Amino acid sequence: MCDPLPRILIIDDEPDMCWALEHILDHKSSKMVTVGSGQEGLAALGREHFEVAFIDAKLSDMEGLELARKMRTRFPSLRIILFSGYFYKDEPDVKAALRKGIISDFVSKPFQNEEVLNKV
């Protein structure tokens, strides 16, 4: 029998943001994994299956959109949600990524808890 709750991967190099997202999403997921870099995120996806990935736009080892492109190529059914305090949904790069299906959705920081919950 399939678990109705999605498995969520959170990729952010700020531990406080990982903690916040974990606590916001704790009742919306059957399993949550947090990692601090794009490379760790790709490794986690290689080890186990996730339905949703929250990716920070600015990571220490790569840009979030670059990571999203890599993830989309390898995991086409993954729901990728980019979040950022640097970009907004109407930015050309974000709009293009949404239009091309590189990312599934976008959340601006600071965000409301309900906004994050509604993306899952």
This model's pTM is above 0.75? yes
| Total count of domains within the chain | 1
Find the CATH number of the domain harbouring 86: 3.40.50.2300
In a domain, 1, yes or no: no
DSSP 39-56: HHHHHHHHHS--SEEEEE
Sorting pLDDT into bands at 50, 70 and 90, what band is 4?
Answer: confident
Q: What is the structure's pLDDT at 30? A: 82
Strand partners, 9: 33, 53
Q: Would residue 62 count as lying in a domain? A: yes
Closest CA to 53 of 44, 112, 95, 15: 44
**pLDDT tens-digit profile of 58-102?**
999 999 999 999 999 999 999 999 999 887 788 899 999 999 999
Q: Which domain holds residue 75?
A: 7-119
Kindly state whether residue 2 falls inside one of the protein's structural domains. Answer: no
Q: How far apart are CA 82 and CA 57, in angstroms?
A: 6
Residue type, position 32, single letter = M
Is residue 72 assigned to a domain?
A: yes
As a whole number of angstroms, the distance between CA 97 and CA 106 comes to 10
**DSSP letters of 61-84?**
SSBHHHHHHHHHHH-TT-EEEEEE
